[in-house]
Amino acid sequence: MSETWKRWEGRTVDGRFPLQSYLGGSDHGAVFLTFMQGGAGDSKKAAIKLVPADAANAEKQLLRWKAARELNRPNLIRIFEAGRCELNGTELLYVVEEYAEEDLSQILPERVLTAQEARSMLQPILRALQCVHDKGFVHGHIQPSNILAAGDQVKLSSDALGVPGERSLGARATGAYDPPEAATGAISTAADAWQLGMTLVEVLTQHLPVWDRTRPGAPEVSAAVREPFREIAKHCLQVDAGQRWTVGQILDRLEMDRLGVERRETARQGRTSAQTEKMASAPAISGQRKASAKWPYLLGLAAVVAVVLFLIAKPKPANPPVEVQSTPAQQGGGDEKASTNTDTTNAGTTNTDTQGGVVERVMPQVAPSARRTIQGTIKVRVKVEVDAAGNVAKATLESAGPSKYFSRVALDAARDWKFSPAQAGEQPADREWKLQFAFSRARTDLSAVRAKR
Q: Are residues 43 and 93 in the same domain?
A: yes
Q: Are residues 25 and 142 in the same domain?
A: no
In tens, the pLDDT along 77-132 reads 999 999 999 998 889 999 999 999 889 998 898 899 999 899 999 999 999 999 99
Final residue belonging to a domain, choices 288, 312, 336: 312
pLDDT class of 294 with cuts at 50, 70, 90: very low
Q: Identify the three-state secondary structure at position 238.
A: coil
CATH of the domain at 1: 3.30.200.20
- Regarding predicted confidence, which is higher, 344 or 127? 127
Is 98 within 8 Å of 156 (Cβ atoms)? no
Q: Is residue 416 part of a domain?
A: yes
Is 285 within 8 Å of 395 (Cβ atoms)? no
DSSP calls for 384-399:
EEE-TTSBEEEEEEEE
> What's the rounded Cα separation, in Å, for the pair 453 and 444?
27
Domain that holds residue 444: 315-450
Alpha helices (H) in 88-228, listed in sequence order: 115-134, 189-205
In tens, the pLDDT along 360-389 reads 999 998 887 778 778 788 999 999 999 988
Q: Please tell me the least confidently modeled range out of 131-135, 221-225, 448-452.
A: 448-452
Q: Are residues 175 and 222 in the same domain?
A: yes
Mean pLDDT of 300-323: 43
> What's the rounded Cα separation, in Å, for the pair 219 and 347?
52
pLDDT of residue 225: 95
Q: Are residues 83 and 109 in the same domain?
A: no
pLDDT of residue 273: 56
Q: Any idea what DSSP says for residue 220?
A: B
| Burial of residue 13 (number of CB atoms within 10 Å: 0-12, 13-18, 19+) | buried
> What's the rounded Cα separation, in Å, for the pair 450 and 228?
54
Q: Is residue 206 part of a domain?
A: yes
Q: Is residue 281 part of a domain?
A: no
Mean pLDDT of 138-167: 90
Q: Is residue 286 part of a domain?
A: no
**pLDDT exceeds cutoff 60 at 171:** no
DSSP calls for 338-404:
----SS---TT-----TTT-EEE-----B-HHHHTT--S-EEEEEEEEE-TTSBEEEEEEEE--S-H
pLDDT class of 311 with cuts at 50, 70, 90: low
> What's the rounded Cα separation, in Å, for the pair 289 and 284?
9
Q: Is residue 1 part of a domain?
A: yes
Q: Please tell me the least confidently modeled range out of 39-53, 233-247, 432-446.
A: 39-53
**pLDDT exceeds cutoff 60 at 330:** no
Q: Identify the three-state secondary structure at position 10.
A: coil
Q: Identify the three-state secondary structure at position 218.
A: coil
Q: Are residues 56 and 190 in the same domain?
A: no
Q: Are residues 161 and 14 in the same domain?
A: no
Q: Is residue 291 part of a domain?
A: no
Alpha helices (H) in 207-282, listed in sequence order: 229-236, 247-281
- Regarding predicted confidence, which is higher, 421 or 337? 421
> What's the rounded Cα separation, in Å, for the pair 241 and 179?
9
**pLDDT exceeds cutoff 70 at 336:** no
| 133-167 burial: b if 16+ Cβ within 10 Å, else e | beeebbbbbbbbbbbbbbeebbbbbbbbbbbbeee
**Share above pLDDT 90 across residues of the chain, in percent, rounded to a whole number:** 48
Distance of CA 41 to the CA centre of its chain: 28
**pLDDT exceeds cutoff 80 at 334:** no
CA distances from 67 to 71, 77, 83, 208 (A): 7, 13, 13, 32
> What's the rounded Cα separation, in Å, for the pair 168 and 172?
8
pLDDT of residue 214: 84
Q: Is residue 397 part of a domain?
A: yes
Radius of gyration of the chain (CA): 27
Q: Are residues 186 and 304 in the same domain?
A: yes
Q: Are residues 222 and 351 in the same domain?
A: no
Q: Please tell me the least confidently modeled range out of 215-229, 276-290, 339-353, 402-416.
A: 339-353
pLDDT of residue 453: 55
Beta pairing partners, 58: none
pLDDT class of 283 with cuts at 50, 70, 90: very low
User: Total structural domains in the chain?
Assistant: 3
Final residue belonging to a domain, choices 78, 99, 120: 99
Where do the DSSP E strands lie in 38-120? 43-52, 79-87, 90-98, 102-103
Averaged confidence pLDDT in the chain: 79
Is 31 within 8 Å of 55 (Cβ atoms)? no
**440 CB contacts (<8 Å, ≥6 apart)?**
374, 376, 377, 378
Is 211 within 8 Å of 93 (Cβ atoms)? no
pLDDT of residue 152: 78
**pLDDT exceeds cutoff 60 at 359:** yes
- Regarding predicted confidence, which is higher, 200 or 88? 200
> What's the rounded Cα separation, in Å, for the pair 401 and 319?
6
> What's the rounded Cα separation, in Å, for the pair 233 and 219?
10
Is 450 within 8 Å of 337 (Cβ atoms)? no
Final residue belonging to a domain, choices 69, 99, 129: 99
**Share above pLDDT 70 across residues of the chain, in percent, rounded to a whole number:** 77
Q: Are residues 48 and 175 in the same domain?
A: no
pLDDT of residue 276: 52
pLDDT class of 447 with cuts at 50, 70, 90: very high
- Regarding predicted confidence, which is higher, 427 or 249? 249
Q: Is residue 81 part of a domain?
A: yes
**pLDDT exceeds cutoff 90 at 143:** yes
pLDDT of residue 106: 87
pLDDT of residue 293: 27
In tens, the pLDDT along 184-199 reads 877 899 999 999 999 9
pLDDT of residue 338: 35
Backbone phi, psi, residue 145, to 5°: -70, -15
pLDDT of residue 354: 42
pLDDT of residue 427: 78
pTM, whole model, 2 decimals? Answer: 0.61
CATH of the domain at 258: 1.10.510.10
> What's the rounded Cα separation, in Å, for the pair 141 and 177?
8
Q: Identify the three-state secondary structure at position 177.
A: coil
In tens, the pLDDT along 234-257 reads 999 999 999 999 999 999 999 888
Q: Are residues 184 and 231 in the same domain?
A: yes
Strands 12-13 and 358-360, how do they pair? unpaired
CA distances from 374 to 144, 152, 230, 351 (A): 22, 18, 29, 30
Q: Are residues 214 and 322 in the same domain?
A: no
Q: Are residues 256 and 339 in the same domain?
A: no
Mean pLDDT of 222-227: 93
